[in-house]
Amino acid sequence: MSSYSELTTSQAFKVIDNMSDAGVAILTFLGGEPLLRKDLYDAIKRANDNGMLCTIASNGTLMTRDVAEKLAKVGIKRVEIGLDGARAETHDFLRNKIGSFEATIEGIRNCAAVDFDELATTMTLHSKNIHELEETMNLAEKLGATRFYLNRLIPAGRGLEAYYLDVTSKEKINALEILHNKFYKSVVGGFGMQCYARGMTYYATNVQKTKSSQ
């Protein structure tokens, strides 16, 4: 457990007000798991009333239809849910909890049934799920996701213990090519889920520089 105490509701409101005064336009509620906070809806409404575009990043396991509707009502415009594989054993491996996959799938479905401006799924790439990248993208799109983000494994928090799962630079390049092909088809065709990478594009640049110097 963290040695730091969480903000009280009044403290959270003060932080939101300060950010609004500073000109912050977009505020993302994340964690941990933001849905565990009992005053989450009040905080979102506070930010929304201050003119901020509000988004939320969740693991999706607590995202019932009622929760999704409440989030939309208080001002959430974009939702992001982690989906780390196309099969239960793959997703649950990284989440370290059996049953997470089914709950996450249901959470994505519940969000798709609500009128958010954007529903995104995110996948953290590692050696145990890289072979399911295309399947995971297809599953996300089938469930109603409008965007897909591929993240690299970051050596922080629990990622410190799991960094041995990181894939090679060549495997990252192959993953980026799969991502690009999906993105290209959505742009040219004018429909379908759009796909993006986070924190991995520098591998492509480094590989190209290496090839050029040879």
Per-residue tokens: 114: 């609500």
- Model pLDDT, residue 56: 98
- Tens of pLDDT, residues 36-95: 999 999 999 999 999 999 999 999 999 999 999 999 999 999 999 999 999 999 999 989
Its pTM surpasses 0.85: yes
In a domain, 149, yes or no: yes
Low-confidence ranges of the chain (pLDDT < 70): 1-4, 155-159, 200-214
1 occurs within a structural domain: no
Question: Which amino acid appears at position 65 of this protein?
Answer: R
Domain extent at residue 162 = 59-213
In a domain, 155, yes or no: yes
SS3 for 78-120, per residue? EEEEECCCCCHHHHHHHHCCCCHHHHHHHHHHHHHCCCCCEEE
Domain count, the chain: 1
- Whether residue 121 is contained in a domain is answered as yes
Mean pLDDT, the chain, as a whole number?
A: 90
